[in-house]
């Protein structure tokens, strides 16, 4: 679970994985078949973008950023997150457990 949020970490991880495929946020959110409004996922993406500086500091402490084909800094960070926790099916929860800090603040 993400602290102070109704969206779970596994759901956010699935959303981010969908965005890495190049799909639009709306299409990815609708493909998740949740009861949340699409606007919820737009707000989550905005919040993630605002937290990128903290997230990247944590990621860089563990491993340098891998070469990325993504031009969006958020998606570059998602790739970095997935490479840091390759064995974990839910990299968002793994991040929070490893660093003992919420991804969304």
- Over residues 23-29, the mean pLDDT reads 97
Residue 1 falls inside a structural domain: no
How many separate domains does the chain show?
Answer: 1
Domain that holds residue 40: 9-99
Q: Does residue 4 form part of some domain?
A: no
Q: Does some domain include residue 25?
A: yes
Asked if residue 46 belongs to a domain, the reply is yes
For residue 49, tell me if it sits in a domain: yes
72 domain residue, yes or no: yes
The pLDDT tens digits for 34-86 are: 999 999 999 999 999 999 999 999 999 999 999 998 999 999 999 999 999 99
Asked whether residue 2 carries a pLDDT value surpassing 60, the answer given is no
Instruction: Tell me what pLDDT residue 25 has.
Output: 97
6 pLDDT above the threshold of 90: no
State the pTM of this model.
0.87
Largest CA distance in the chain: 37
69 falls within a domain: yes
């Amino acid at each position: 679970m993400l602290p102070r949020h109704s969206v779970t970490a596994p759901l956010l991880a699935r959303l981010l994985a969908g965005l890495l495929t190049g799909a639009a946020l709306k299409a990815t959110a609708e493909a998740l078949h949740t009861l949340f409004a699409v606007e919820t996922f737009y707000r989550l993406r905005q919040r993630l973008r605002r937290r990128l500086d903290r997230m990247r500091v944590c990621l860089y402490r563990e491993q340098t950023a891998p070469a990325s084909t993504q031009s969006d800094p958020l998606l570059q960070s998602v790739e970095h997150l997935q490479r840091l926790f390759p064995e974990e099916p839910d990299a968002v929860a793994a991040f929070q457990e490893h660093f003992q800090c919420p991804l969304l603040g």
